[in-house]
Chain A
Amino acid sequence: MGVGHHHLVSVSLNEQQLGTKRKYISYIPRTNQGKYLAIWIISFGFLAIYVYKYLDAGHQERIEEGLASMCDQRARMLQDQFRVSVNHVHALAVLVSTFHYYKNPSVIDQETFAEYTARTAFERPLLSGVAYAQRVMNYEREELERQHDGTIRTMTKEPSPFRDEYAPVIFAQETLSYLKLVDMMSGEEDRENILRARATGKAVLTSPFKLLGSNHLGVVLTFPVYKSKLPPNASVRERIEATAGYLGGAFDVESLVENLLGQLAENQEIVVKVFDITNTSNPLITYGRNTEDGDMSHTRVSMLDFGDPFRKHQMTCRYLHKQPISLTAFATSTLGYVIVILAGYMFYTGAIHIVQVEDDFDTMQQLKVRAEAADVAKSQFLATVSHEIRTPMNGILGMLALLLDTELSSTQRDYAQTAQACGRALITLINEVLDRAKIEAGKLDLESVPFDIRSILDDVLSLFSEKSRHKGIELAVLVSDKVPQIVIGDPGRFRQVITNLVGNSVKFTEQGHVFVQVHLADHCKAVIDTNGIRAKSTGSPFKTLSGREAADDRNSWDTVKHLVAKEEFPFQIVTTENVNLVVSVEDTGIGIPVHAQNLVFMPFMQADSSTSRLYGGTGIGLSISKCLVELMGGKISFVSRPQIGSTFSFTVALKSCKKGAVPNLKKSLYDDDLPNAFHGLKVTVVDSKPVRGAVTRYHLQRLGVIVNIVDSIKMADLDDSKPDLLLIEKDTWLSSNENTTKPQHLPKMILLATNITVPELDKLKSAGFSDTVIMKPLRASRVAACLQQVLGTGKTAEQGKTTAKGSVYLRGLLCGKKILVVDDNRVNRRVAAGALKKFGAEVECADGGAAALALLQLPHAFDACFMDIQMPEMDGFEVTRRVRKMEREANVSGNMRHLPILAMTADVIHATFEECRKSGMDGYVSKPFEEENLYQAVAKFFESKTAIQPRNG
């Protein structure tokens, strides 16, 4: 059942802890990080493009502006140049009309014209030449042909057919002399030009065409020349009538533009085209190649005005090469994008990593919870199993005890005894495991009761005295007199730790000593600090208890003498609430191998597998000690040197207690009040080893004896303090025995010895020591007994030695007490009553809550009440509550009453205990009654009462 219960607990714990989900909030998407990354990259891609566009727009604008300015500049220059030429042709026309028609006779002939035009040709760089064609009607043809001595020809150099009207060239610049008498009206373009020119009276241009002389494109400029001055608003008819001839010139547009552009820098950067867009649907190219070349992305169109309102021209400019893209914009956006991508990738990997780490963390946490649960379960399991094993083991031991009571042959008895010893060992082990498991499961509660540390140490010493004496090792205890008499703590656990350490030391020590010291931690520290680091004592007789070298030489006399010195400790520690003690257990045993020193406090680890073979034991003791020491708020440590010894020391935090303030002192089972018959007795201790002397003095001082230590008998002889007794250490006595016989004037002598061999005993007998030998280890009570014997003071008062048994002690506690047992179960009632009666109590029984209440009506004579919890009708809790209520009501009116009520329960789980407390009970006893259990429960509140009254042990 027990197992099932624990198991349930651990399982529910598990579920509870595993059930809780992550407690933290995760800001990281747990899935689809790839998609988020893609979205990130794409969106920032768009952003980068937008940024690029934005930055590039300015750049493009600048390019555009550059192109526009260049194009406009070219257009303007071209236009200006053209205008200049046109104006000049105009001037020529005026010249011709002035000197050819208005003067009669004409002052211009071919030579004059040719020379003049040739000399003024620099004014018309754009014109390859100028010529003048006269308007000739058909009837005038013959006269003209006569005058000029030739026939009018067509453009194709053939004699012209008859027409209404002709326009033969009569004057021509030298460059155009081939045009002499060529009828300009025979060419389609020229004819149109002539007709338009005379109708408008302005300069007109042809559409571009291939010029006769060169292969270049060109346009022909035609100017009308009138016979008479015309009014500004002359009609077309008037103009035609007045027309005398036409002045014309050919513009070689291509070379013109070529020259013009050649003058400009950056010429090669742009492609320039000039179009005649008179017919908008079919623009005629005037300059430039017809193929589309250059950078098509930027085009600038500038309008050209060559002075002919009928013809429209435009200039188109393009960059020859594609303009370089804006590096800044590109670099900015690209770099930005790259950075963003990298950042995105970082986030991505980061997110993946975080998610992974979180998952790992989760897993770890679950594993941790599981591991902890498993650990708890293990401890619970151990606790349960150990408990379950203990029960049958007790049966086995009981049976073995019964078996040993029967008549057995010696072999059988041997077997049975062996079995019993093994069983006891097993029980001890199980108890230890149980202890450890309890500690691990956190079920161990420390008591906090006042106790006497010295008597505890005496107990421990007495436990091992037989063994140490047998082995011939010296076992000693020294408690600093600065340590308060009574401290508050858990005596049981304190004793357990010391027992364990001393037990180990005794076990592993073959010769030398085991020395337990208790000092105030602060004092000890202060002494060591002031002493500083002393040179290691290397002298052959080490100043330790037995003179053998110890692992930690802090315990040598150099330190101890300061610790036991009488001088007032400078720090006021005793007055404070806390008492920090340092306990050290020093031995001169085999020590712990260096490689195993780390494992010493691990459960089931022994220094060496051979150790367990040689010395037995499980190695769990030290780990329990460590746990206990830590529970008590201290630390345990050790110094060990192989083949020299080990010194374990631990600190423990206890509370101080004003002596007398808390009288219900938990006595040790062995303790008996030390007699105070020796107060003021003067004793001289002769001991060559100061540490040992200090130990002797400690025990004697506890008896109130005034102690003086000398290091040889001679010194004692010289001493004039007249001691009542002389305590001589065996070694010292033996060494000085050769030359000194028993001094006559010396008082009674007592010999202190660890072990005595037979010849030594003879020698002692001859010296008169036979009765007055105190065997070590020393204990105050033992010393007292011995002193009594020697001095003959007091009869051998038994000092209540029989209290060694708990039952006797319990008897003392319960004797004469009137106790009420409440239980509905007759059998239980009878058993409880029987048990209590056995311890001398007067028992009355009640079979239910109601009966109990009736008996407990105030005033009553009961000293205590044992109450079953599970009762029909009214359970123990309820009864207790009612009793407490009655008491409260009574207490209002005067005398304080509090009846101790102890619960009797079959299940001793903690919760039940809590409920007991809540309903006003004072404690509980597990059912069925066990002596130890009963003792513990009863002792708690009866001791205080008995301590006040004189005890009759």
Chain B
Amino acid sequence: MLGFGAVRLRTDMNRLLSLLFHQGVLDEQFLQLQHLQDQTSPNFVSDVVTIYFQESEKQLRNLRNLLLDREIWDYVKLGIHLNQLMGSSSSIGAKRMRNICAVFRAAVEQSNRPACIRALEVLEHEYCYLKNKLHELFQMEQQSVLGDAVRYPGVVHQL
């Protein structure tokens, strides 16, 4: 039964992943990341993603502060933060995040504050969505790892 559960979990994971791919939230870089994960670094993906979330939250906060500061329009700093966010997003394969960053950067270059604020809102929304989905994914993964751990030492053919 547990084995069946594991299979279902994996199926669900795959479904979720393909959904994310289909939506363009993730791209193949994420798969590359998964490839890097092996016995020597079993939690590589979640590690990286956790760092990503920490960093991104910091960047988003900074961006919001910079944008809400009505007196100063520091597009240099905005650009730096955006580049950081963009670089890390493309590293983990968060494609939609990266694309929105690109739009955001274009708006910054045009000094279009309303567009920037709009972009920031979309970016925050997208960030939340990504975070939720990846959390979901990792939860499933953990369960499946637990399931595997239970399953493999035991009798192979339970079905």
Q: Measuring CB to CB, which residues of chain A are less than 8 angstroms from any residue of chain B?
A: 1, 391, 394-395, 398-399, 402-403, 405-407, 824-828, 830-831, 834-835, 837-838, 868, 870, 872, 906, 927-931
Given contacts A395-B27, A406-B14, A824-B84, contact A830 B21 (CB under 8 A): no
Q: Which residues of A contact B47 (CB under 8 A)?
A: 830
Is B51 touching A830 in the complex (CB atoms < 8 A)? yes
Q: Which residues of B contact A906 (CB under 8 A)?
A: 87, 90
Is B51 touching A826 in the complex (CB atoms < 8 A)? yes
Q: Which residues of B contact A831 (CB under 8 A)?
A: 33, 36, 48, 91-92
A929 and B55 CA atoms in complex are apart in Å by 20
Nearest Cβ in chain B — how far from A52, in angstroms?
Answer: 80
Nearest Cβ in chain A — how far from B38, in angstroms?
Answer: 7
Given contacts A826-B88, A831-B91, A928-B29, 4 further A-B contacts (CB under 8 A): A402-B17, A403-B18, A825-B55, A826-B51
A826 and B36 CA atoms in complex are apart in Å by 17
A402 and B20 CA atoms in complex are apart in Å by 13
- 8 Å CB contact of B91 from A398, A828, A872: A828
Q: How many A-B residue pairs have CB under 8 A?
A: 85
Q: Which residues of B contact A827 (CB under 8 A)?
A: 48, 51-52, 55, 87-88, 91-92
- 8 Å CB contact of B31 from A398, A828, A830: A398
- 8 Å CB contact of A927 from B27, B44, B91: B91
Given contacts A406-B11, A830-B48, A830-B51, contact A927 B87 (CB under 8 A): yes
Question: Which chain B residue lies CB-closest to A827?
Answer: B88
A929 and B92 CA atoms in complex are apart in Å by 10
A837 and B39 CA atoms in complex are apart in Å by 12
Is B10 touching A406 in the complex (CB atoms < 8 A)? yes
A931 and B29 CA atoms in complex are apart in Å by 11
- 8 Å CB contact of A399 from B21, B36, B80: B21
Question: Which chain B residue lies CB-closest to A402?
Answer: B14
- 8 Å CB contact of B83 from A394, A403, A870, A930: A870
Q: Which residues of B contact A406 (CB under 8 A)?
A: 10-11, 14
Given contacts A399-B21, A834-B44, A838-B36, contact A391 B27 (CB under 8 A): yes
Is A399 touching B18 in the complex (CB atoms < 8 A)? yes
Interface pairs (12), CB distance under 8 Å: A395-B21, A398-B21, A398-B31, A399-B22, A406-B11, A828-B91, A831-B33, A831-B48, A834-B41, A838-B41, A928-B32, A928-B90
Is B44 touching A929 in the complex (CB atoms < 8 A)? no
Given contacts A830-B47, A906-B90, contact A398 B28 (CB under 8 A): yes
Q: Which residues of A contact B27 (CB under 8 A)?
A: 391, 395
Is A402 touching B18 in the complex (CB atoms < 8 A)? yes
Asked if B7 CB lies within 8 Å of chain A CBs, one says yes
Q: Which residues of A contact B84 (CB under 8 A)?
A: 824-825
A395 and B38 CA atoms in complex are apart in Å by 22
Q: How large is the interface on B (under 10, 10 to 19, 20 to 34, 35 or more residues)?
A: 35 or more
Nearest Cβ in chain A — how far from B137, in angstroms?
Answer: 13
Task: Decide if the interface of chain A is mainly helix, strand, loop or mixed.
Answer: helix
Nearest Cβ in chain B — how far from A233, in angstroms?
Answer: 134
Task: Decide if the interface of chain B is mainly helix, strand, loop or mixed.
Answer: helix
Nearest Cβ in chain A — how far from B10, in angstroms?
Answer: 7
Interface residues of B in 1-34 (CB under 8 A from A): 7, 10-11, 14, 17-18, 21-22, 27-29, 31-33
Nearest Cβ in chain A — how far from B120, in angstroms?
Answer: 19
Asked if B102 CB lies within 8 Å of chain A CBs, one says yes
Nearest Cβ in chain B — how far from A927, in angstroms?
Answer: 7
Nearest Cβ in chain B — how far from A182, in angstroms?
Answer: 139
4 nearest CB pairs, A to B = A827-B88, A827-B52, A831-B91, A828-B91
Q: Which residues of B contact A931 (CB under 8 A)?
A: 32, 35
Q: Which residues of B contact A402 (CB under 8 A)?
A: 14, 17-18
Question: Which chain A residue lies CB-closest to B59?
Answer: A825
Is A872 touching B80 in the complex (CB atoms < 8 A)? yes
The interface bits of chain B over 39-82 (1 if a CB of A lies within 8 angstroms of the residue's CB, else 0) are 01100100110011011000000000000000000000000100
Question: Which chain A residue lies CB-closest to B92?
Answer: A827
Is A929 touching B32 in the complex (CB atoms < 8 A)? yes
A1 and B98 CA atoms in complex are apart in Å by 12
Question: Which chain A residue lies CB-closest to B89?
Answer: A827
A431 and B130 CA atoms in complex are apart in Å by 32
Question: Which chain B residue lies CB-closest to A407?
Answer: B7
Is A825 touching B40 in the complex (CB atoms < 8 A)? no
Is B91 touching A825 in the complex (CB atoms < 8 A)? yes
Question: Which chain A residue lies CB-closest to B80?
Answer: A872
Q: Which residues of B contact A825 (CB under 8 A)?
A: 55, 84, 87-88, 91
Nearest Cβ in chain B — how far from A8, in angstroms?
Answer: 14
A825 and B90 CA atoms in complex are apart in Å by 11
Is B51 touching A403 in the complex (CB atoms < 8 A)? no
Q: Which residues of A contact B10 (CB under 8 A)?
A: 406
A831 and B7 CA atoms in complex are apart in Å by 29
Q: Which residues of A contact B35 (CB under 8 A)?
A: 931
Question: Which chain A residue lies CB-closest to B13?
Answer: A402
Given contacts A407-B7, A827-B48, A831-B33, contact A837 B40 (CB under 8 A): yes
Q: Which residues of A contact B28 (CB under 8 A)?
A: 391, 394-395, 398
Q: Which residues of B contact A1 (CB under 8 A)?
A: 102
A872 and B62 CA atoms in complex are apart in Å by 16
A828 and B94 CA atoms in complex are apart in Å by 13
Q: Which residues of B contact A399 (CB under 8 A)?
A: 17-18, 21-22
A827 and B50 CA atoms in complex are apart in Å by 9
A838 and B34 CA atoms in complex are apart in Å by 11
Question: Which chain A residue lies CB-closest to B8?
Answer: A407
A929 and B102 CA atoms in complex are apart in Å by 20
Nearest Cβ in chain B — how far from A831, in angstroms?
Answer: 5
Is B41 touching A927 in the complex (CB atoms < 8 A)? no
Q: Which residues of B contact A391 (CB under 8 A)?
A: 27-28
Q: Which residues of A contact B17 (CB under 8 A)?
A: 399, 402
Nearest Cβ in chain A — how far from B86, in angstroms?
Answer: 8
Given contacts A834-B48, A838-B38, contact A927 B90 (CB under 8 A): yes
Nearest Cβ in chain A — how far from B143, in angstroms?
Answer: 17
Nearest Cβ in chain B — how far from A828, in angstroms?
Answer: 5
A906 and B93 CA atoms in complex are apart in Å by 13
Is A828 touching B88 in the complex (CB atoms < 8 A)? yes
A61 and B31 CA atoms in complex are apart in Å by 114
Nearest Cβ in chain A — how far from B80, in angstroms?
Answer: 5
Question: Which chain B residue lies CB-closest to A399?
Answer: B18
Nearest Cβ in chain A — how far from B2, in angstroms?
Answer: 16
A825 and B52 CA atoms in complex are apart in Å by 9
Nearest Cβ in chain A — how far from B3, in angstroms?
Answer: 12
A872 and B76 CA atoms in complex are apart in Å by 10
Q: Which residues of A contact B102 (CB under 8 A)?
A: 1
Interface residues of B in 88-117 (CB under 8 A from A): 88, 90-93, 102
Q: Which residues of A contact B11 (CB under 8 A)?
A: 406-407
A141 and B42 CA atoms in complex are apart in Å by 186
Question: Which chain A residue lies CB-closest to B15?
Answer: A406
A825 and B32 CA atoms in complex are apart in Å by 18
Question: Which chain B residue lies CB-closest to A840?
Answer: B40
A930 and B47 CA atoms in complex are apart in Å by 19
Nearest Cβ in chain A — how far from B145, in angstroms?
Answer: 16
Nearest Cβ in chain B — how far from A252, in angstroms?
Answer: 125
Nearest Cβ in chain A — how far from B66, in angstroms?
Answer: 15
A872 and B28 CA atoms in complex are apart in Å by 28
Nearest Cβ in chain B — how far from A796, in angstroms?
Answer: 28
Question: Which chain A residue lies CB-closest to B14?
Answer: A402
Q: Which residues of A contact B44 (CB under 8 A)?
A: 834
Question: Which chain B residue lies CB-closest to A832?
Answer: B91
Q: Which residues of B contact A930 (CB under 8 A)?
A: 32
Q: Which residues of B contact A835 (CB under 8 A)?
A: 32, 36
Nearest Cβ in chain B — how far from A747, in angstroms?
Answer: 49
Q: Which residues of B contact A403 (CB under 8 A)?
A: 14, 18
Which of A1, A391, A827 has most chain B Cβ within 10 Å? A827
Nearest Cβ in chain B — how far from A128, in angstroms?
Answer: 130
Is B87 touching A828 in the complex (CB atoms < 8 A)? yes
Question: Which chain A residue lies CB-closest to B86?
Answer: A906
Q: Which residues of B contact A398 (CB under 8 A)?
A: 21, 28, 31
Q: Which residues of A contact B36 (CB under 8 A)?
A: 831, 834-835, 838
Which of B21, B28, B33 has most chain A Cβ within 10 Å? B28
